Every structure is written in structure tokens, then in C-alpha cells.
A and B are shown apart, each in its own frame.
Chain A
Amino acid sequence: MSETSVVRPVHRRSPAAILGRGASWAGFGAVYLFLYAPLVAITVFAFNDSTIQALPWAGFTTRWFEAIPKDRLLISALVFSFTVAIAAVAIASLLGTWFAFALHERTGRVARAARGLMVVPVVVPGMVLGLSLAITFRSLGLTPGYATVVLGHLVFDVPVVTLLVLSRLQRLDPSQAQAAMDLGAGPWRTRILVVLPQVRTAILAAALLTFTLSFDEVIVTFFLVGAQQTLPIFIWSQTRFGFTPEINAVVTIIGLVSMVLIVVATRVITRDIEPDNYDRPDGGGA
């Protein structure tokens, strides 16, 4: 009896309660609307058959998407951004993984300090990073261009890979490496045959994340580019002259691709947490 009396009032809500619930849902909705409405708006305008970025809806078109390949400046910026991101990701994955192993295998004071210093480039404001890199490169006599942009991106890409791979290494059971060495594997074969396969998903996730980081980075890049612009900088410079809906189409594609990459990366990272249970003895029957 007492159970039903507890349950029943929920079914008979008072008008005030219904109003309160409604208001709280509305508030919730407003925040999400604020977060997602711009994304929706830009996607809608990408398909709107009008050069004016405003309602009313003038009809559905894909011509802005069709215009993309014909815009040589846009394509060259897109290609440049891709080549920068791919080079930065490739180098950062190698360097970051190497650093993560090095930091993981050393326990001294120097290693701890080095680990702390890894975080700095990730959290330092992009403007500071960009300006200081620009000054450094100029004093070294490096011409602004592809190399300076890639180097600039490595400054934040390498720490991201390092920290992600390092955190995976630290969750790895230390007896894995010990068992490998115990069974006759030297340090290199231990790393390559036993440890690396167990952190490969972290490396993959880090690569996906750094790709999206590099691809749409603006501030640091702005200080380091030469004549050839990256896509985000090209788009930004276009907006100053009132951009065409073609930009909406590009941004819609990039937004979609980035979201897919980030969803995949987070999936990989979270799924990667589970296999820690692999070797937990559970005492189950033989």
C-alpha cells in the first residue's frame, strides 16, 4: 500500500508543477538552441538559393556546393590546409608517441618536470604562441610558408599526442612490459610487440584530434603563414568583403567532417578504457 501512495502523486501533477517543469525544459532548450542554432543556420544558408544571407527561404539549391571546385583560391587554400594538417599529424604522432614512451619509462625528477612542461604549449594563449614563434622564425631567417606553419602546429600537436598516449601508457598494467621482458623480449621488442599494440587506439585517437586541431587552427597560423593562406584564414579574409554562400557550403562540409572525426576519436578513446579489464583476474570457474 505504502508503495502505491508514494508513486501516485507523480501521476497527478499539480498545475504549478507542470508549469515549473515546462519552464525548466524551455530554459534547457534555449541553451541548446543558442549552441546549435548557428550551426543549423549556416547549414540552411548553404542550401538557400540566394546570395543574401537572410531569410526568407528562396528555395533549395546545391549550386554553392557545386561552385566550390571552381574557386581556385579556395581549393588551393583547402589543399594547403590538408597538406599542413597531414604533415603535422604524421610528425606529431611519431614524436608524441616517442615522447610519451620516454616520459613513461623514466621516473626521475627531470622526467616529472618534462611532463609538466608538456602541458604549457597546449594551454598558452594562441596569440602568445603565434607571436613568439613568428619572432623566433624570423630571427632564424625562416621564410614564412609551409614549413613555418607545420612547425607552428607541431608546437601544440606534439603535446596533445604525448599527453593522450602517456595517459594510456600509465593506465597500462606495468606487469605487461615486465612479463614481456621476463619471457625474453628486450626493451625494443617489449615496446613494439607488447606495449605499442595496447596503446595504438590512443595514438589513432590522438591523430584524429590533432588533425581537427591543425585543420582549423587560425591564431597561431595567422602569425606564420606566407602568401599561401590556409582554409580558415582564407575564409576569415573573405568574410571581410562580405562572403558568398559558397563559404557556407565549405564550412558546412568542414563542420560535418570535424564532428565525425571528433565523435570517432572520442569513441575510440572511451572504448579504449574498457580493455583495461582484460587481465583482471575474476576467479571464474575453469
Chain B
Amino acid sequence: MSATQQRAAVVSLDDVTKGYPGTDTKAVDRVSLDIREGEFFSLLGPSGSGKTSTLRMIAGFEEPTQGRVLLDGLDVSGLPPYHRDVNTVFQNYALFPHMTIQRNVEFPMRMKGVPSREAGARSTEALESVEMAEYGGRLPHQLSGGQRQRVALARALVGRPRVLLLDEPLGALDLRLRQQMQLVLKRLQREVGISFVYVTHDQGEALSMSDRIAVMNKGRVEQLGSPAEIYHRPSTRFVASFIGRSNLLPCAVEALGDSSLAHCGDGITVMLPAGTPAGQALLSVRYESVALTEGGASGGFPVTVDEVVFLGDAVEIIGRTGATVLVARTGGQRGLRVQRGDSVEFAIHPTGAVILRD
């Protein structure tokens, strides 16, 4: 489909498992995936989902207990970090406190034996790309968190690695700075064309920057796809509840020839595409896929308003019908006129409903 999909895999994980002594639960459990040339790839999951362990195995700080890590198609098992053409931006930046910013950025080139004049020029260029050139003579502790972040990026990119690994790099920054850095990261990635592997627990960061996202939970990849696929077509209950806000409805699916119909109790029915397997299923409906409709709309059902939550750019209406509670999110003016206790009508957009495999 997209251009990146035809490109070669820079990093391949082949059935990678990581266990630690003294525990049976695996940090990473049989993960297989390909990260392509020039791709912004995110590993998204809650803490303990195995995303950082996965990153550390690509970097070479840890070895898989099973399976293989391949860089450019070559098995790198047992290859130490300094022999892997992969660089990492650490969560706490890990700038060397006893070296100036310039020396920090020159460090990877000194290690490669690049002549000092060239190393100086390239590190200045790298610092310019993150707008930090004027700080070359400072020491890391004289910089703010956001500035150190930029320097860490410059240092990791100056040696032009095949892959850049980023371990929750924005986690320590405040919200405004985080949003600003997201743009910086995305721009840098486009400019240098290096594959980024970005570890985060923040779905907003993953959705806004990534070409593809692997959602991880309990050491496994729950779903792998583009941000739009992950958001609009979650395949598991975990993905549906971890990313965005969803109503989860247990339904009975009935085949009707050219379409399917889900009966979700309390008079709620949802049209589904043909070919949806019949039987019991869990239906995920994003809050914004529940519409506040005028009386008599097809597929509409009456609810009593339990609560109205004003969010600034939208309103969330919590409606109840029988034993079912549904949340509708609407940006329209109508939502503002709804009050607690009102009787209104909800309808579920057929395109916004997804059957989950549980």
C-alpha cells in the first residue's frame, strides 16, 4: 500500500523471547516484526508490556533468550552494542556530564576514528539541525531538559546510524515542550531518512508521529498497523481500550444476507458489513462513533442522560438504556443543550463499530 511497505527491513525480530531469571513471566513473548527502511515505527504499550526490553535487545544491551534479532538481514546475536550500527536516545538522555556539548556530539565520531576536523564540522552541523549550535561550549548540567533532549538527538544521529532507537525520550518534559519536540522529531526523521524505533506509553505521541505502531501488552504484540488502522480498527479488547476511548458491548451477530446485524441488548442494534461471523462477539465503538440523533433516525435508540461532561472542544454525553451505559462524544452545538436527565436518542455509525477478537 504505502511506499514504506515495499522497502527492505532494517530491523527484523524473529520469534524473539526475553525471560529473566527467577520469574516465569516473559518480558517479551515470541515477538516477530519487521521495521522498514526510513520508517517511524512505534512500540506502544503500558509499563511492563515489554517495549523497552524489545528496544534493548535491538540495541544490544540485552540478548534474547530465544529467537533472533536481525539488522539488515544479518543475525546480530552476541554482537555488542558498539558493533551494531544502531544508536539510542536514552530516557534520561545520558549525556556525558564531564564533556562539553560539542565533545558529547563528537564522541561517536571519535570512536569511529573520524579525523577531528571533520568530526568538528559534522557535530556542529548536527547541533545546528536541532538548533543547539550556540551551546557547543556548555556542559550538560547548564542546559534545560528540552535542550539536553536535542543534544542527545544530535549525538545519536551524527554518526548516521541505520536505526535510531528512542526510549520514551519525551517522558520527562512538560506537555507544551513535549508537543514541540514531537514536531522536531518528525521533521528530523523526515530529513535524515533514518528508521526511528520509538518506545512510548503515550498513545497521542505514537498516533501523531508514527508510520506504523506495534501495540504491546504483556510481552506480546497485540496489533501492528498504521495509526489509522490501530485507532479505527482495533483488533483486540486491549487495543480498543488502551488507544482512544471506546464503548465495549457484548453482542449477538446475525447474518442477514448482504449485511450483518449485531444485537447488543436493550434495543441497541448495529449494522455490520457482510461476512462478519455470526455468534457472540464483543463490539467496540469509539465514543465519537456514537451520534446524538434526532428522533426517528434509523438505528437510533432512546437513552436517558446520566451525565454531561464538557471538554472544551467536545462534549461527552453518558447515556443509559436499561443495563447498558454508552458514552457519546460530540463536537456539535446540540450536545451543549443536552442536560442531565434528558431523554435523547443515540445511534451507532456502522463504520465506527468493530468486532474484537478477545
Q: Which residues of A contact B (CB under 8 A)?
A: 173, 175-176, 178-186, 189, 193-194, 197-198, 275, 277-286
A52 to B140, CA, bound (A): 61
A-B contact pairs, 16 of them (CB 8 A): A173-B94, A178-B94, A179-B90, A182-B81, A186-B80, A194-B96, A280-B92, A281-B91, A281-B145, A281-B149, A282-B144, A283-B174, A285-B146, A286-B144, A286-B147, A286-B177
Interface size class of B (residues with CB under 8 A): 35 or more
In the assembled complex, the CB of B36 is this many whole angstroms from the nearest CB of chain A, namely 22
Query: Nearest B residue to A278 by beta-carbon distance?
Result: B97
Most chain B CB within 10 A, of A173, A186, A281, is at: A281
Query: Nearest B residue to A189 by beta-carbon distance?
Result: B111
- Known A-B contacts A178-B90, A281-B173, A286-B180; the reply to A197 vs B146 at CB < 8 A is no
In the assembled complex, the CB of A111 is this many whole angstroms from the nearest CB of chain B, namely 15
Query: What are the nearest 9 A-B pairs in CB distance?
Result: A286-B146, A281-B172, A284-B144, A184-B111, A179-B94, A278-B97, A183-B108, A175-B94, A181-B81
B90 neighbours in A (Cβ, 8 Å): 175, 178-179
B17 interface contact, C-beta 8 A: no
In the assembled complex, the CB of B160 is this many whole angstroms from the nearest CB of chain A, namely 12
Point out the residue from A183, A277, A279, A283 that lies within 8 Å of B107, measured CB to CB: A183
In the assembled complex, the CB of A280 is this many whole angstroms from the nearest CB of chain B, namely 7
Binary interface encoding of chain B residues 46-75 relative to chain A, with 1 for a CB under 8 A from any of its CBs, else 0: 000000000000011100000000000000
Q: In the bound complex, do residue B82 and residue A185 qualify as a contact, i.e. CB atoms below 8 Å apart? A: yes
B88 interface contact, C-beta 8 A: yes
A193 to B103, CA, bound (A): 11
Q: In the bound complex, do residue B59 and residue A182 qualify as a contact, i.e. CB atoms below 8 Å apart? A: yes
Point out the residue from A179, A181, A280 that lies within 8 Å of B96, measured CB to CB: A179
Q: In the bound complex, do residue B98 and residue A181 qualify as a contact, i.e. CB atoms below 8 Å apart? A: no
Q: In the bound complex, do residue A283 and residue B159 qualify as a contact, i.e. CB atoms below 8 Å apart? A: no
B141 interface contact, C-beta 8 A: yes
Point out the residue from B80, B92, B97, B150 that lies within 8 Å of A281, measured CB to CB: B92
B146 neighbours in A (Cβ, 8 Å): 283-286
B93 interface contact, C-beta 8 A: yes
Q: In the bound complex, do residue B145 and residue A197 qualify as a contact, i.e. CB atoms below 8 Å apart? A: no
In the assembled complex, the CB of B323 is this many whole angstroms from the nearest CB of chain A, namely 45
Q: In the bound complex, do residue B172 and residue A282 qualify as a contact, i.e. CB atoms below 8 Å apart? A: yes
A193 to B141, CA, bound (A): 18
Query: Nearest A residue to B169 by beta-carbon distance?
Result: A281
Q: In the bound complex, do residue B80 and residue A181 qualify as a contact, i.e. CB atoms below 8 Å apart? A: yes
- Known A-B contacts A176-B96, A283-B174, A284-B145; the reply to A182 vs B87 at CB < 8 A is yes
- Known A-B contacts A173-B92, A182-B59, A183-B111; the reply to A286 vs B98 at CB < 8 A is no
In the assembled complex, the CB of B251 is this many whole angstroms from the nearest CB of chain A, namely 45
Query: Nearest B residue to A286 by beta-carbon distance?
Result: B146
In the assembled complex, the CB of A198 is this many whole angstroms from the nearest CB of chain B, namely 6
In the assembled complex, the CB of B1 is this many whole angstroms from the nearest CB of chain A, namely 34
Query: Nearest B residue to A197 by beta-carbon distance?
Result: B98
Q: In the bound complex, do residue A283 and residue B145 qualify as a contact, i.e. CB atoms below 8 Å apart? A: yes
